[in-house]
Amino acid sequence: MSTVSIIVPCYNESESLPIFYREAAKILNSLDEEYELIFVNDGSSDDTLSQLRELSNKDNHVVYLSFSRNFGKEAAMFAGFCNSSGDYVAVMDADLQDPPALLPDMLKILKSGEYDSVATRRTSRAGEPPIRSWFAKRFYQLINRISDADIVDGARDFRLMKRDMVEAIIAMNEYNRFSKGIFGWVGFRTYWLPYENMERIAGKTKWNFWKLMKYAVDGIISFSQAPLSIASCFGIMMTVCSFLFLILIIARRLMFGDPVAGWASTICVIIFIGGLQLLCIGIIGQYLAKTYMETKHRPHYIISESNKKSIDKIR
Ligand code: UDP
Ligand code: MG
């Protein structure tokens, strides 16, 4: 018999948690495998933590790790991976957008031995604002073109993996974590399981348009150096152009003695080049900021409370 670990990041999920637990426990009990349900309380301000304490008293499959503050979903998933012991490990949302009913099939696929991971992707973006879908599509096209993180459009974080893959993910110790990219980067044989998009069962999503935008920029910066190359290309192009322009001006001066040059065009060129320089400095700044955070070697998360004794409290 093998062991399955299910990692569930929870941030203010008191409304969805009881429904999720009921559903997940029903499916997991029917699996005929050992399992642990690892809930990571990501600094919730509602009563998520007290609900988790209660659940862990009632059910000894339940492990909870409670952060000292909100560290974000990426940190919550990382803490789950670091403190999981299963031969098979899954990550899923607490809002039933990742249906636990898929778990038996996912496990069967892994046990057949051909794959190391079963990942899910939603086939539709129903219920999402069209502008968000449009930006999401462009993001996936762009990041796949300019990076070696292989990301499928509509991919969710919901996936079941074998232990080897989980160890590889833990070994990627970077501070700026972008799991969608990390899952692709480590490789392994992945089976993609499509399913219809589900609406959140209760509570509210933690994302808004600008947070998603920042997430996209972080993803690109974490997995691609293309923006830096583009900035350098601009620089080279501008240098060549200005050199040609200089030759033109000298030639004109020598041949025609043309003394008056346009003020407006000069200002335009100055503003254009100034803007371009600021853009390129901004791009470099983004990378520098990430490098700065990496060099500090701050912990990814701090656990202030748990019902499990032997855990990595700070990592
Ligand atoms: N989450 C978290 N920390 C955060 C934000 C979200 O642990 O700072 C959890 C949240 O509780 C949920 C999952 O991450 O279980 C996905 O969040 P959400 O449902 O808001 O995202 P969406 O499904 O809309 O992409
Ligand atoms: Mg959700």
Q: Model confidence over 8-48: pLDDT tens digits? A: 999 999 999 999 999 999 999 999 899 999 999 999 999 99
**For residue range 125-156, what is the model confidence (pLDDT) as tens digits?**
877 888 888 998 999 999 999 988 888 888 99
Compute, in angstroms, the gap from residue 278 CA to the centroid of ligand 2.
37
**For residue range 218-238, what is the model confidence (pLDDT) as tens digits?**
999 999 999 988 888 888 888
- CB of 277 sitting under 6 A from ligand 1: no
- CB of 286 sitting under 6 A from ligand 1: no
In whole angstroms, give the CA distance from residue 298 to residue 284.
22
Mean pLDDT of the chain: 91
pLDDT at 253: 79
Max CA-CA distance within the chain? Answer: 93
**For residue range 256-285, what is the model confidence (pLDDT) as tens digits?**
876 666 777 788 788 888 888 888 898 999
pLDDT at 258: 66
Burial category of 204 from C-beta neighbours within 10 Å (exposed 0-12, middle 13-18, buried 19 and up): exposed
Asked whether the beta carbons of 197 and 122 are under 8 A apart, the reply is: yes
**Model's pTM, two decimal places?**
0.89
Compute, in angstroms, the gap from residue 93 CA to the centroid of ligand 1.
7
Which ligand is closest to the CA of 127, given by its number? 1
Residue bearing the CA closest to ligand 1, atom 8: 72
Amino acid letter for position 305: E
Share of the chain above pLDDT 70, in %: 99
Partners of residue 159 on adjacent β-strands = 91, 119
- CB of 157 sitting under 6 A from ligand 1: no
The atom of ligand 1 lying closest to the CA of 93 is 15
Q: Mean pLDDT over residues 290-297, rounded?
A: 93
pLDDT at 260: 64
Compute, in angstroms, the gap from residue 199 CA to the centroid of ligand 2.
8
Which ligand is closest to the CA of 204, given by its number? 1
Q: Mean pLDDT over residues 96-108, rounded?
A: 93
- C-beta atoms surrounding 62 within 10 Å: 20
pLDDT at 276: 84
pLDDT at 208 over 90: no
- The DSSP-derived string for the chain is --EEEEEEEESS-TTTHHHHHHHHHHHHHTTTSEEEEEEEE-S-SSTHHHHHHHHHHH-TTEEEEEESS---HHHHHHHHHHT---SEEEE--TTSSS-GGGHHHHHHHHHTTS-SEEEEEES--TTS-HHHHHHHHHHHHHHHHH-S----TTEEEEEEEEHHHHHHHHH---SS--HHHHHHHT---EEEEEE-----SSS--S--HHHHHHHHHHHHHHH--HHHHHHHHHHHHHHHHHHHHHHHHHHHHHHH------HHHHHHHHHHHHHHHHHHHHHHHHHHHHHHHHHHT--S-BEEEES-SS---B-
- CB of 95 sitting under 6 A from ligand 1: yes
Pocket test for ligand 1, best of 6, 66, 73, 199 (most atoms within 8 A of CB): 73
pLDDT at 235: 82
- CB of 176 sitting under 6 A from ligand 1: no
Compute, in angstroms, the gap from residue 110 CA to the centroid of ligand 2.
25
- Indicate left, alpha or beta for 190 from its phi (over 0: left) and psi (-120 to 50: alpha): beta
pLDDT at 274: 85
Pairing of strands 117-122, 62-67: unpaired
Q: Mean pLDDT over residues 73-79, rounded?
A: 96
Q: Mean pLDDT over residues 196-201, rounded?
A: 85
The atom of ligand 1 lying closest to the CA of 8 is 15
Question: Which residues are within 5 Å of ligand 2 (an ion), measured at CB?
Answer: 93, 95, 97
User: Nearest CA to 85 among 179, 159, 166, 20?
Assistant: 166
pLDDT at 241 over 70: yes
- CB of 11 sitting under 6 A from ligand 1: yes
In whole angstroms, give the CA distance from residue 174 to residue 165.
16
Residue bearing the CA closest to ligand 1, atom 19: 205
pLDDT at 18: 95
